[in-house]
Amino acid sequence: MGEILVVVEHRQEEVRDITFEMLFKAGELCKEFSHTLTAVVLGGKEEQFIDEVAKRSDNVIYYEDDRLKNFSADLYKEVLNGLIEKTRPFITLIGHSSWGMELAPSLSIKTGYPLATDCVDILIEDGHPKVIRQIYSGKVFSKMSFKESDGYLITVRPGSFQPPEAIDERNGGVIKKDLPGDLPEMRKEFIEFIDSGAGDVDITQADLLVSVGRGIGEAENVEDMKELAERMGGVLACSRPVVDKNWLPKYYQVGTSGKSVKPKVYLAFGISGAFQHLAGITGAGTVIAINKDKKAPIFRVADYGVVDDLFKVADALKEQLKEG
């Protein structure tokens, strides 16, 4: 019997969704292979979310120190390395987020454990972990194994697992730990957290989102799509390139570095379906994709798809609404 360790990701006193996804997947593996599920929290004093994590774990190891309240890859690496050296967990899961991308490679070097990044599934075969990763922009799934080791590190792509509403309660005990005394000097310092702000629209509250991607071609087309969204009684949203090109402000952006949305209907116009975008719509009801490329990955998650020019479809919808 081994241990699966889940590194709890949190921000501004709230647990991030990726943590619940990892706890769910780790819980399934622990049940099937009789492993122990341990969540490790590196957090500030008296974090309120500990109970949420304990419900889903067999044990919670809580390093409680205000120096850990905000993420620091250097500091977190040192603390996790100390824990891993002592407990030698079979698998350690970290989110493939801005946290994990910075933390996991250096932790792998420090611990000597092999690392697989950006995994969308985890299997255990003949006692060895294997991971599923997407290659060629999500067009091919590859199954990968690790070099032989007594422990393995995996970063998990957000949106890969869907924890059910009703959880399998484990009610783990919480073991509090102090920061080790012999930490090296840190090269980085947390200065402040700046929220991107809600802006004049809140895409997280809309029931209908008309979301536009790079496929809309130019800034001038944004207004037309906004008008369509409004005529349909919905709200405009977008993918990251639309923000990067300054066609819309950041608060319209859906995805891992934007917002997670949960509309009843999500219309994606000219969005290819990169995983960073799809991770933001896992909570959406019906997904309708309009894309001229029939092989676009968005069609894999869409409930309905239209393979056509998006402007033709937008005009047809406007016509229908006029008639209605």
Ligand X SMILES: Cc1cc2nc3c(=O)[nH]c(=O)nc-3n(C[C@H](O)[C@H](O)[C@H](O)COP(=O)(O)OP(=O)(O)OC[C@H]3O[C@@H](n4cnc5c(N)ncnc54)[C@H](O)[C@@H]3O)c2cc1C
Q: Which residues bind ligand X (CB under 6 A)?
A: 213-215, 239-241, 253-258, 270-272, 274, 276-277, 290-293, 296, 309-310
CB of 110 to ligand X, least distance (A): 23
Nearest approach in angstroms of CB 263 to ligand X is 15
Toward ligand X, which CB reaches closer, 76 or 99?
Answer: 99
β-strands 59-64, 91-95 pairing: unpaired
- State the minimum distance, in angstroms, from the CB of residue 140 to ligand X: 17
Task: Name the closest residue to ligand X (Cβ).
Answer: 255
Nearer to ligand X, 287 or 310 (CB): 310
Smallest gap from residue 61 Cβ to ligand X (A): 29
Q: Which is nearer to ligand X, 16 or 56 (CB)?
A: 16
Residue 63 is encoded by which pair of tokens? 């390093």
Shorter beta-carbon distance to ligand X: residue 59 or 211: 211
Closest CB 216 distance from ligand X, rounded Å: 8
Q: Which is nearer to ligand X, 129 or 270 (CB)?
A: 270
Q: Tell me how far apart the alpha carbons of residues 190 and 205 are, in angstroms, rounded to a whole number.
A: 31
Q: Among residues 48 and 196, whose Cβ is nearest to ligand X?
A: 196
CB 128 → ligand X: shortest distance, Å?
30
